[in-house]
Amino acid sequence: MTRRSFLLAALAGLAGVMLARPLWADEALLQEIATRVADAPVLRAEFSQTKTLAALRKPFRLAGRFTYAREAGVLWQVDTPYPARYLIGREGMVEIGPDGQRRAQSGREAAGVARAGQILQALLGADLAPLQSAFVLDASRQGEGWRVTLTPRSAELARHLARIELAGHDAVEQVDLFEAGGDHTEIRFTAIARATQLTAAEAALFAR
Amino acid sequence: MKAALAAALLLGACASLPPPGCTALSTTTRYCLQPLPAGHTVAVNQLVDMQFPGRPAGERLVFAIDATDARMQIVGLNPLGQTVFRLGVNHGQTQWDGPPAAEALARQLPALVQLMLWPADSVRQGLSRDAALRVAPDGRRLHDRDGTLLLDTRQSDPDPRLGQVDAVFTPLDARWRVTRLAD
């Protein structure tokens, strides 16, 4: 790097620091969001998911419900257009068949699913701190609510994922995933309810 | 001269390989991808339950299919809606974006989809001359010139893009159940 280009880079960096909002403002808001959202060990909601695929005319829609257990993971139950049940946790994802039989993901796909499971669990709990190593977090207020944009730090992740946007009030109400290739997944959560413990049926499904 | 000889040798070596855009269904029968007839388009999401030898539990994927003229896109999604692969076909040239281990099988996918779903006249145009395709309101049967059954489908609706299709691809010993997902 020549002296002149080094100076330009240094000036650009300084300008960036001056133009950026103070770091503490985001961190305070992120902490506030985590406090507002993660105050229950169990969260239940219905979801509607729409995936818009780049260059395809017909979007793909799913609907169902989920149970988020802070200590155990996420039970994701698709009701339409077909029934499907999945347990998603930090260790990965297990499919639960109609007969109750469990099938774990294996191979290379499992690692990606496990990572996605970690992200999903963190997103649903608005437990954003662990995501800061992989994403740049930008939080803002939206009226009474909030919005957080997660932008991948690594070029490798950015090759697949452009950004994730979260929005809500006292819970995460919408997640938008923008893939690098142009696909967009919107997940809306409704009928959000908090609880202190799992039902017996849920506990049986979470038990591995 | 040397170049001409090399080209001749190369052509000879490739003579048994199907040309781009074509898939060998048996030693004597191939299918070459066909454009949709003018004015036809396909834009469907289908749940596909697949069973292969050695995979008794099978695989369940959603195929999002979008086709116009000579272009076709197939996106494979897992039941959670995560993209597993993306396959594009443009005038017979295929482009694959997915797990490398699945590429060889997936490159046959556009042909299998067309054999099941495309208008029968289009399918006939893409088949080797001596292959026999019989089409009935409840399904399709494809035999090669030796009479070997290559494809047997049973469909719940006269239009295979609607309802449910059960297909057996004999050369791959693969069974598919294809169910159209509501819009």
**Domain annotation covers residue B3:** no
Q: Does A159 touch chain B (CB under 8 A)?
A: no
Measure B64 CA to nearest chain A CA, in Å: 8
Q: Given B47, B64, B183, which is nearest A56 (Cβ)?
A: B64
Looking at the predicted structure, is the pLDDT value of residue B149 above 70? Answer: yes
Q: Calculate how close chain B gets to A55, using CA atoms only, in Å.
A: 8
Q: Verify whether the Cβ–Cβ distance A60 to B81 is below 8 Å.
A: yes
pLDDT single digits (tens) B12-63: 333 456 788 899 999 999 999 999 999 999 999 999 999 988 777 788 999 9
Is the pLDDT at A18 greater than 60? The verdict is no
C-alpha to C-alpha distance for B63 and A58, rounded to whole angstroms? 11
CB-based burial label for B25 (10 Å; 0-12, 13-18, 19+): buried
Q: What residues of chain B, 62 to 91, have a C-beta less than 8 Å from chain A?
A: 62, 64, 66, 73, 75, 77, 79-84, 86
Q: Apex CA A50: angle with CA A49 and CA A51, to 5°?
A: 120
Distance from CA of B14 to the nearest CA of A (A): 34
CATH number at residue A14: 2.50.20.10
Q: Which of A58, A103, A116 sits opposite B43 (nearest CB)?
A: A58
Among A71-75, A106-110, B90-94, B130-134, the range with the most confident prediction by mean pLDDT is B130-134
Across all residues in chain B, what is the average pLDDT?
Answer: 87
What residues contact residue B107 under an 8 Å CB cut-off, 6+ apart?
Answer: B23, B87, B94, B96
Q: Is the pLDDT of residue B2 over 50?
A: no
- CA distance to partner chain A, nearest, from residue B54 (Å): 15
The pLDDT of B1-6, averaged and rounded, is: 38
Q: Has residue A9 got a pLDDT over 50? A: no
Q: What percent of chain A has pLDDT over 90?
A: 46
Confidence band, pLDDT 50/70/90 cuts, at residue B82: confident
* Local confidence band at A21 (pLDDT 50, 70, 90 cut-offs): very low
* B78 located within any domain: yes
Return d(Cα A28, Cα B71) in angstroms, integer: 51
* B71 vs B4, residue with greater confidence: B71
Give the list of residues 6+ apart from residue B39 with CB closer than 8 angstroms, or none: none
Q: In this complex, do A181 and B44 lie within 8 Å of one another by their Cβ atoms?
A: no
CATH number for position B149: 2.50.20
**Beta carbons of A86 and A96 less than 8 angstroms apart:** yes
Option in B64, B77, B99 nearest A58 (CB):
B64
Judging by beta carbons within 10 Å of its beta carbon (0-12, 13-18, 19+), is residue B102 exposed, middle or buried? Answer: middle
B9, part of any domain: no
Question: Is the predicted ipTM greater than 0.90, yes or no?
Answer: no
pLDDT for the residue numbered A114: 63
Tell me if chain A has a CB within 8 Å of the CB of B57.
yes
In a domain? residue B6? no
Q: How many domains does chain A have?
A: 1
Q: Is the pTM of this model over 0.80?
A: yes
Using the predicted structure, report yes or no on whether residue A17 has a pLDDT greater than 50: no
Residue B180: pLDDT above 90? yes
Residue A104: per-residue pLDDT? 80
Number of domains in chain B: 1
pLDDT at A98 over 60: yes
Query: Would you mind telling me the total number of residues written for chain A in this entry?
Result: 208
Residue range A193-197: average pLDDT?
A: 92
pLDDT digits (tens, 9 = 90+) for B110-138: 999 999 999 999 999 999 998 999 999 99
How many alpha carbons fall within 13 Å on the CB side of residue A145?
12
A58/B66 Cβ within 8 A? yes
In 3D, which of A107, A161, A111 has the Cα closest to residue A134? A161
* Per-residue tokens: A42: 């169990």
Does pLDDT of A4 surpass 50? Answer: no
What residue numbers bound the domain in which A151 lies? 3-206
Å between A95 CA and nearest CA of chain B: 10
Residue A112's pLDDT is 61
Phi-psi region of A125 (alpha: psi -120 to 50; beta: other; left: phi over 0): alpha
Query: How does residue A45 score in pLDDT terms, banded at 50, 70 and 90?
Result: very high
Whether B132 is covered by a domain: the verdict is: yes
Q: Averaged over A110-126, what is the pLDDT?
A: 67
- Say which residue the tokens 């594009």 belong to: B88
CB pairs under 8 A between A and B: 57
Q: Say if the Cβ atoms of A60 and B62 lie within 8 Å.
A: yes
A115 pLDDT more than 80:
no
**Does residue B5 lie in a domain region?**
no
The pLDDT of residue B10 is above 60: no
Reference A37, options A75, A72, A70; nearest CA is A70
Higher pLDDT, B79 or A129: B79
Question: B100: domain range?
Answer: 20-180
* Structure confidence by residue, pLDDT tens digits, A135-186: 999 999 999 999 999 999 999 999 989 999 999 998 889 999 999 999 999 9
> Residue A182: closest CA among chain B residues belongs to which residue?
B83
Q: Has residue B15 been placed in a domain? A: no
Contact between chains at B80 and A108 (C-beta distance less than 8 A): no
pLDDT at residue number A5:
36
| pLDDT grade for B5, boundaries at 50, 70 and 90 | very low
User: Which residues of chain A make contact with B49, given a CB cutoff of 8 A?
Assistant: none
Residue B175 in domain: yes
Q: Distance (Å) from the C-alpha of residue A81 to the closest C-alpha of chain B?
A: 6
Chain A residues whose beta carbon lies within 8 Å of the beta carbon of residue B82 = 113, 116
Mutate to test the interface with B, among A50, A82, A87, A94 (most CBs of B within 10 A): A82
pLDDT at B73 over 70: yes
Please tell me whether residue B67 adopts helix, strand or coil conformation. strand
